[in-house]
Structure 1
Amino acid sequence: MRALDLDYMLGLVPVLLSYLPLTLWMAALGMVLALILGSLLAVERVIKVPVLDTFVILFISFFRGTPLLVQLFLFYYGLPQVLAFLTQINGVTAAIMGLTLHFAAYMAESIRAAIVGVDRSQWEAAQSIGMTQAQMMRRIVLPQAARVAAPTLVNYFIDMIKSTSLAFTLGVTEMMGAAQKEAAGSFLYFEAFLVVAVIYWIVVEALSQVQKLLEVRLNRAFAR
Structure 2
Amino acid sequence: MEVFSFKFAVGLIPLMLKYLHVTLSMSVLSLIFGLMVATVIALIVQAKVKILYPITRVYVSFFRGTPLIAQLFFLYFGLVQIFPSLRGMDAFTAAVIGLSLNASAYMAETIRGAISSVDKGQREAALSCGMTYLQMMRRIVLPQAARVAIPALSNNFIDIIKGSSLAFALGVTEIMATAQMEGAAAYRFFEAFTDVIIIYWAIISIMSFAQKKLEQKLNSAY
Q: How many residues align?
A: 222
Structure 2 regions of 5+ residues with no counterpart? none
Q: Does 1:44 align with 2:44?
A: yes
Aligned to 1:148: 148
2:105 corresponds to: 105
Matched ranges for 1:89-128 at <5 A = 89-128=89-128
**Where do 1:195-210 residues align within 5 Å?**
195-210=195-210
**Aligned alpha-carbon RMSD (Å):** 1.0
CA offset at residue 4 of structure 1? 2.1
Identity of aligned residues (%): 50
Output the CA distance in 1 between the equivalents of 2:87 and 2:17: 31
Where do 5+ consecutive residues of structure 1 fail to align?
A: none
Q: Deviations over 1:12-58 (max 9, x none)?
A: 11000000000000000000000010000000000011111111111
Match of 2:219 in 1: 219
- State the partner residue of 1:162: 162
List, as ranges, runs of 4+ consecutive aligned residues in structure 1 with deviation greater than 6 Å: none
Partner amino acid, structure 1, of 2:45 = R
Letter in 1 for 2:162: K
The alignment's TM-score, normalised by the length of structure 1, stands at 0.97
Q: CA deviation at 1:126?
A: 1.0
**Partner amino acid for 2:108?**
A
SS of equivalent to 2:221: helix
| Counterpart AA for 2:115 | I
Structure 1 CA distance for aligned equivalents of residues 128 and 52 of structure 2: 28
Structure 1 distance, partners of 2:117, 2:145, is 7
1:190 alignment counterpart: 190
Letter in 2 for 1:138: R
Q: How does 1:65-104 map to 2 (within 5 A)?
A: 65-104=65-104
Q: Give the TM-score, by structure 2 length.
A: 0.98
Pairwise CA distance, 1:125: 2.0
